[in-house]
Every structure is written in structure tokens, then in C-alpha cells.
Amino acid sequence: MPTAATSTADSLQQLDPTAELNRQVDAYVAMGYPELAGVDEAAFRALFEPLAQPLADAVAAGLDLAVSDSRVPFVAVVTDAVMSPEPRVPLLRAGRGKKEGILDRNYGENGLAPYRAMDGLDVPDAPVYLLLDVERGDEFKNVKPMNATPVIAERGRTVLTIAEGLSFNAAFPDKLIKNHCFMLAGSHEGNRRVPAIWISAGAPKLGWCFQGVEHTWLGIASAAGRAI
């Protein structure tokens, strides 16, 4: 029987795609996502059943199933259509840490409501979808977001939205570690702010930075694409 991940010679994990999709759904259920979505567990799990085919198609097309310290093959994204992002923030985790996630007070009284996906990202109009070939973006640490995002686009990749970043962390909390955090340049409020997830006093925080400012501990997360 295949397991969700087995070791390879190069010390990377090689995921079984079906087992991994099930694992991510199980993780969401364990975190209380059905309750946040206002549906029972069976209805929540049913949302992900249509993802089996696009996942199989992506694997057939050559999706790399290896997991490294900063890269995963796919994330099953839970969108704002299922639940608003604010209740998900306390569920953020940094590695094996137990501290709850924090929403930065600088978001103000409107919170995350004004944030929308950047034009041109082609985000599926669906409750859930697949984000493929997801990287934390360590190479863009100490690079201004306004300079990094065109490079990412030139490579045919896409920056992540807030919903995608929250899903990435929920599925792979071990990818958020000290000095290896990431910006979510795919969401914006129509100004120079770039959302980001980092660690503050041992707790994961959803905050924001300015697009013209670089940080030594913040990369820019990206993916090869989205599938539904």
C-alpha cells in the first residue's frame, strides 16, 4: 500500500497524489473548517471530490510530486466562497508551534474585506481548486515585491492570494519557519500594501508590507498555476 509520502534517494518526499489530497482534506476537517463554513463534514468533503480528475490530469502532464523544504506539488485551496478569511487566521500555525495565528492590527477596522485577487491571476470561480507546484519563494528574500513579481510572471508562474496562502499554511504548516516566511502578492487593496504571513513572537501573523520595501526574512510565494 502506498503511503502519503515516501523517502527518495535525494532525501525529498515523493507524494502519492490521491493520499495527499485526502490528507489535506482531513487536515481541514480536523481544524474545524466545516464548522467555519457552516456545513456538515460530509458536505465539506464533497466539495473536494471534483478535484480528483484535475489532479490526475496534472500528474499525467508531469507534475513533480516531490516535496522539499520550500516547495510542495499542490495545495487544495479553500476559497472565500466557502468561508471568509478572518476566522481562518487563528488557525495559522508555524511548524509544530501551538500559538494561534494573529491578524495584524494595521489592517484596521475593515480587516481583510477590501482585499481582492489581482487582475489577470485567473483564479477559478469555484469553492475549492488546486494550486500546482507551490514554492515559498525563498529566492526573493531581500527583493522588493514590485521587482520580484514581474520576474515571477515572466517565468509563467503566479503569485498567491490570501486564501491560497491560508490554505498553503493549513496543509503544510511546517513550511512556515523563522526567517523563511512569505508574501502573498496576489491579493491587494488597491494600494501599495502586500499581504504576508510571518512569525512574530513565536506566533504566525497575517500582516502586510509595502511593495517597495524588501525584507531579509520574507520571500514571495508563487505557483505554476491553478486547476479545477
Q: What pLDDT is stored for residue 3 in this prediction?
A: 38
**Confidence check: pLDDT of 2 > 70:** no
Q: What percent of the chain has pLDDT over 70?
A: 95
What average pLDDT is seen over the chain? 94
Strand partners, 135: 71, 222
Q: What pLDDT is stored for residue 6 in this prediction?
A: 37
**Confidence check: pLDDT of 100 > 80:** yes
What is the rounded (10 degree) CA torsion for 18, 129, 14, 68? -160
- List the one residue out of 134, 120, 137 whose CA is nearest residue 164: 134
**pTM as predicted:** 0.94
Q: What pLDDT is stored for residue 195 in this prediction?
A: 98
CA–CA distance, 208 with 196 (Å, rounded to integer): 5
pLDDT, average across residues 107-133: 96
Strand partners, 15: 5
- Which residues, in sequence order, are CB contacts of 47 under 8 Å at separation 6+? 82, 127, 128
Q: What pLDDT is stored for residue 13 in this prediction?
A: 85
Least confident of 7-11, 41-45, 125-129, 134-138: 7-11
pLDDT, average across residues 163-181: 97
**Confidence check: pLDDT of 26 > 80:** yes
